[in-house]
Amino acid sequence: MHPFQQFLLPGFAPVAEDTWANGERIIVQPVFFGLVPDLPAPLHDLPSLRRGLARLAAQQGGALIEADVVPLGGQPALRQVVKVKLQHQEHGQAFLGSYILPKSRCSAVLRVQAAEEGTTGMREALVMAQVGPTAYFHPHPYGPDGDGGLPSHVADSPAYDPQFPQHPLTRVRQVMAQLAAQVTVDPRFAVLPPFPG
């Protein structure tokens, strides 16, 4: 059983065991792993954590958009957003947000995901038209380890979320912010020893 409490949001309904979705097909999943976390570094070493996560996402053909350590339910959590190619489709991306609470011998993850539907790539095309191709692409923000998967570009910046309120990346960030404002953590999980790295 996952240790997250008070994480259900208005408009979300169960669609499978420990899986909720809303009318916009945004999915929220709380997951518990009874294994030592496979994070590349402890939460207090954010530069190493970012580099390792960026390398892993690139190796899997995606890209790490952002990673930070933030409080969630009074616990330090890794907050990350990753983009991946849609499976079995030539175009389009899915955006996967997660809060990870690592402990010494287990972890709890709260996932939020949404995928492009219909016409894809509109956010990218419109932002490129605004800034020009030279300013559009940039090196991965967490170093060269993040290169090799999906490209890193300015259209993924939260600065463009207001222009694209229905885009799945925008919606993932919005739902993650809503969750962060209300999630609580089971006290029995909260007192477990932290992940040492």
Q: Which CATH number fits the domain that encloses residue 135?
A: 3.40.1000
Rounded Cα distance between 142 and 27, Å, is 27
Q: Is residue 189 situated within a structural domain?
A: no
Rounded Cα distance between 6 and 147, Å, is 37
Q: Is residue 180 situated within a structural domain?
A: yes
Residues 139-197: tens digit of each pLDDT = 999 988 888 889 999 999 999 999 999 999 999 999 999 999 999 999 999 999 999 98
pLDDT of 39 over the 70 cut? yes
Domain count along the chain: 1
Residues 14-25: tens digit of each pLDDT = 999 999 999 999
Q: Is residue 191 situated within a structural domain?
A: no
Of 185, 153, 184, 177, the C-alpha closest to 26 is 177
Q: Are 19 and 110 in contact (CB under 8 A)?
A: no
Q: Is residue 123 situated within a structural domain?
A: yes
Tokens at 25, concatenated? 């097909």
Domain boundaries, position 13: 4-184
- The CA radius of gyration of the chain, in Å to the nearest whole number, is 17
Residue whose pair of structure tokens reads 């909260």 in the numeric block: 190
Tokens at 179, concatenated? 């969750």
Q: Is residue 97 situated within a structural domain?
A: yes
Q: Is residue 190 situated within a structural domain?
A: no
How many CA atoms lie within 13 Å of 64's alpha carbon, on the beta-carbon side? 26
Tokens at 155, concatenated? 């259209």
pTM of the predicted structure, to 2 decimals: 0.94
Q: Is residue 176 situated within a structural domain?
A: yes
